[in-house]
Amino acid sequence: MSGRRPFFGMRFRLWVAAALPALLAVALLVVGFMERYNREFSAALQDRARASAEQLAGAAAFPLFAGDQAALQRIADSAVAADSQLLAVAFFDAENRLMVHAGQVSAPWQALLTAPQSFRPNDMVMLAPVQRFEALERDVFDMGFESLSPVRSVRSGGQVALLVSLKSLDHQRRDLLWWALTISALGLGLAGLLSSLIASSVTRPIDHISEVVAGIGEGRLDTRASEVQSGVLATLATGINAMAGQVATNQAHMQHMIDRATEALKRQKESAERMARTDALTGLANRRSFAEQADNEVSRALRYQHTLSLVMVDIDHFKDVNDTHGHQAGDAVLVQVVQVLQSQVRDVDLVGRWGGEEFVVLLPNSSAQQAVQMANRMRQAVENTDIVLDGLSLHCTVSMGVAELDPHTPTLAALVSRADAAMYQAKRNGRNRVEVASDQ
Amino acid sequence: MLRFNRRQSLTWTLAACAGVPGVVRAQSAGVEVVMSGQGAVYAEVESVLRRELGAGVRSVSTQVQPATAGPIPTAVAAVGLQALRQALNRSTQPGWEQVPILAGLLPQAAYALHAKDLPPGSSAVWLDQPTGRWLHLVREAFPKARKVGCLFGPTSSSQQATLRRLADASGVEMVAGAPIGQPQAIFPALSQVLDQAEVMLALPDPLVFNAETLQNILIATYRQRVPLVSYSEAHVKAGATLGLFTTPTQVAQQMVAALRQRLAGQALPAPQPASLFTVAVNDQVAQSLGLAVPDPSTLTQAMRRREGNP
């Protein structure tokens, strides 16, 4: 299903939306934490170095005063041996002359005093003066001697210089960074898992609702969203269900309307067709319709070598009826005559209106002789029929020509033409008669 | 007050004209006291001067009075080196050339720097003890000691010959370290002295004994188990076994005696070392060194007797 990929994308985006602020916050925290920790650790290392230097200065005060190089050397050696971060220790006298040293330095020893910054950034130099005896109270003699400048400024102490490695600082910084990154990654992973779970509570209903919408789109209007599966989007699901219901109802209604319209159209079409094939006044097949059916009968008669006869009927003096009693009376005569004709024919026989007051009757499986008998029955029946119209009783007769299908000229036109000729012959012979077309 | 002062001035002017011919400006009865500072030490001195001299103290200030303001005092008491310098500067002004200055509460060495520039009749009461008093103390406190060590720096070296002479006279051998001209020389000299001496004297010398050296000197003497006898009460508190010094009150008392002479119309006595003194013992150090040192009052009395001043 093509809709699934974007949902994964949405889930991912929801996760990013939740995780990005957290990522930024964590990044800021890590940077801030590192910065602060660095500062504090540097300060702590510096404090420790200063404390060591002051301790060594205290320990070295008397040996330095006494010029006891061996003692100073012991102090320096043991200090370097005891502390792995302490790279070197050097003692200088009051004139900054190197007294003793222990450990290794990458530059001349004197550089510890003259250029302590040159050891950066890998190492740090910490200097401490061999301290004055601060516990001594000021004496009245001191007050008097303080003004004697030549002797006042003389110093008898010295200095101790420590070279402290900052590598541990780097190590700790790196360890801390890794630690912070690991913790952050774990935290983010956990947060990602949680946010993914929370996101799924939104995406799963969306997934479900999307499937429902897709189904509806494909025409399955009975598809409905489950309220349980829709979870937090239950309201949306209800809305979609209502919409789908509405669409289904509308479609059924429209289908009903279409069906009705189609049916009406069909009826109109059939009616039009019927009207095209039927004579409106008498309800008989009109000339075209009759010709079509008659052609079929001709074909069938030829194929099965059956006889087929046709009777051409013409109402005698019909023009007079029209002229005397009006067209309405003429129409009533036509209808009445047709009813009489129809009452006389068989079911298989076909009656049609050929035009005006002319009618044709096709008689399958009937020879000319049989047709004449049928024609005479019909002529007789018409003659015996009283046509009542508005209190007026009319009497009319018909002239008929009978022709049988000639296998030599087996066409409807020829058949009609011969029957027509026979009918005119009947007219000529005094009307109200039946004449048979002469043999071919 | 003003009137009182004028009357006094007249009296003293007459007296001064009789005793010191050539003075044309009016002299006021009383001493102008100039202090080098305002600490407890100076308050102690001031209190003694006022109590003992009463109206003889005309003014007490940390600044000398302007040269042209008011009558000239009988004498100027300069307490401390700064005060001495102020008084000295003013003494070149007209009318002040003959006003004697009594300097007090300062070392002899500091006074010596300015002594030749002072007005005639000026004098001093030094903080320094007379050299012989050191030997008296050693004899009283450590009767069995026969070798007394001492370090001499630029300031104290002048006492070396005297000390040696007096030591010889009292049957004690003086062990002197090599003269100390720079701090690095202290320890070799100290080692040299401590190798022989049974007692060591610390005579005032800022190059040898100061805040930077004292602790090491104390450690060195303690390690050699040689008691240190110092000129400073602070040293005793810091670990010296014995102290011989003069308190500000004692200095003031000595100054009072000199000023009384002047107020009585006589000249000031000649510059002199401390006549009064105090002995202090650090019992804990003495005990640590296994020494049985007599108590300070016993020592003081015995020393006075030796000085012929019981």
Tell me the sheet residues that pair with B76. B32, B101
Is A136's CB within 8 Å of B187's CB? Answer: no
Sequence-distant (≥ 6) Cβ neighbours of residue A194 within 8 angstroms? none
| Predicted pLDDT of residue A148 | 60
| Predicted pLDDT of residue A407 | 87
A149 and chain B in contact, CB less than 8 A: no
Interface test with B, best of A64, A92, A130, A136 (most B CBs within 10 A): A136
Cβ-based contacts of A92 with chain B (< 8 Å): none
Of A132, A133, A148, the CB nearest to B109: A148
Which residue blocks in chain B are alpha helix, DSSP H? 2-19, 40-53, 81-90, 108-114, 131-141, 160-169, 186-196, 214-223, 233-238, 248-263, 283-288, 296-306
Sequence-distant (≥ 6) Cβ neighbours of residue A124 within 8 angstroms? A45, A46, A49, A163, A164, A166
Residue A315 has pLDDT above 60, yes or no: yes
Cβ-based contacts of A147 with chain B (< 8 Å): 81-82, 85, 110
Pick the range with the lowest mean pLDDT from A70-84, A183-197, A370-384, B198-212.
A183-197
Of A66, A137, A141, the CB nearest to B237: A137
A157 and chain B in contact, CB less than 8 A: yes
Cβ-based contacts of A94 with chain B (< 8 Å): 183-184
Of B110, B207, B220, the CB nearest to A144: B110
Residue A144 has pLDDT above 90, yes or no: no
Of B105, B211, B220, the CB nearest to A136: B211
Is B207's CB within 8 Å of A154's CB? Answer: yes
Give the residue from chain A lying closest to B42, CA to CA. A140
Is B212's CB within 8 Å of A138's CB? Answer: no
| Predicted pLDDT of residue B174 | 95
Residue B310 has pLDDT above 90, yes or no: no
Cβ-based contacts of A62 with chain B (< 8 Å): 215-216, 219-220
Residue A65 has pLDDT above 70, yes or no: yes
Q: What is the crossing angle of helices B131-141 and B160-169, to 10°?
A: 40
Is A141's CB within 8 Å of B154's CB? Answer: no
A96 and chain B in contact, CB less than 8 A: no
Percent over 70 (pLDDT), chain B: 91
Sequence-distant (≥ 6) Cβ neighbours of residue B156 within 8 angstroms? B203, B204, B205, B208
pTM to 2 decimals? 0.56
Give the residue from chain B lying closest to A137, CA to CA. B234
Give the residue from chain B lying closest to A67, CA to CA. B187
| B99 vs B122: CA distance, rounded Å | 8
CA of A132 vs chain B CAs: smallest distance (Å):
4
Cβ-based contacts of B154 with chain A (< 8 Å): 150-151
Q: Which of B57, B69, B73 lies closest to B12 in space, CA to CA? A: B73
Q: What does the angle CA A175 – CA A181 – CA A182 come to, to the nearest 5 degrees?
A: 90
Residue A155 has pLDDT above 60, yes or no: no
Give the residue from chain A lying closest to B191, CA to CA. A66
Give the residue from chain A lying closest to B183, CA to CA. A156
Residue A4 has pLDDT above 70, yes or no: no
CA of A29 vs chain B CAs: smallest distance (Å):
50
Interface test with A, best of B125, B184, B193 (most A CBs within 10 A): B184
Pick the range with the lowest mean pLDDT from A150-154, A350-354, A384-388, B249-253.
A150-154
Interface test with A, best of B215, B231, B277 (most A CBs within 10 A): B215
Q: Do residues B150 and B193 lie in contact, with contact meaning Cβ atoms separated by under 8 Å?
A: yes
Task: Quote the ipTM score.
Answer: 0.75
Tally A–B CB contacts below 8 A.
109
Cα dihedral across residues B48, B54, B57, B61: positive or negative: positive
CA of B148 vs chain A CAs: smallest distance (Å):
21
pLDDT by residue (tens digit) across A250-292?
988 999 999 999 999 999 999 888 888 888 899 899 998 999 9
Three-state secondary structure string covering B201-219: EECCCCCCCCCCCHHHHHH
Sequence-distant (≥ 6) Cβ neighbours of residue A171 within 8 angstroms? none
Q: Which amino acid makes up residue A63?
A: P
pLDDT by residue (tens digit) across A160-183?
999 998 887 788 888 888 888 898
